[in-house]
Amino acid sequence: MKPIGKIEAPALWAITLGPLVTFSGYTIGAMLWPGYDGMIHTISDLAANDSPVQLFVSVVFLFGALCDVVVSHYSKALAKPGRFAILIAAIATVGLTVFSTPSQTGHSIPHRIFAITSFALLAIWPVLSMRKGPNVPPLLRPRAAVMETLILVITCVWFLSLWADKSSPITGLGERIGVAVEGIVPAVVLWHSYIWQRKNN
């Protein structure tokens, strides 16, 4: 049986610190902006050109992108298409940061394209990362990978439906739930896979 790569320590640091720092950053950014309603407004609004916390939240975005780059490089147990999807999602995050929303009432087509690309790729990476064989960590095997992808895709589609509905009163909440799920699932998969490989290889 051909051996597969390992989940290496830098990937664990990145997959742990990334969600913690970014989610904390969004929360702090919202607290620093009086009148901002996170139930309604998206995270992107915090980094819009008319936001008083634009620079702070933009740095948070870029930190998250950097963590995804590290994860894509050091998670060698994942199949290459999955690692590539995570890398492209990181690049898309940089893109949505550079092409920020112009205002709370305006929108940017490039920003939307990059945002949807990042969100979508971080929803389908498990099925692109799956492998077969007894030497593969259980959460990277096909059945588990499909279930993980379903959880992520359902959450992603739900948020995008809220985003498309201009009258939705919970668009911001939906995005935060989606971002949290897209942070928790890979953290669980990578940590479990790392521990499994340590015990079994």
For the stretch 100-134, pLDDT in tens is 988 877 788 999 999 999 999 999 999 999 999 89
Q: Which two tokens stand for residue 85?
A: 């999807």
**Cα 16 from chain centroid (whole Å):** 12
pTM of the model: 0.94
pLDDT band at 30 (very low <50, low <70, confident <90, very high): very high
* C-alpha dist (Å) from residue 44 to 36, 101, 102: 12, 7, 10
Side-chain half-sphere CA neighbours of 101 within 13 A: 19
Residue 137 pLDDT: 96
Q: How far apart are CA 51 and CA 105, in angstroms?
A: 12
Q: Which residues are registered as beta bridge partners of 7?
A: 75
User: Mean of the pLDDT values across residues 143-156?
Assistant: 96
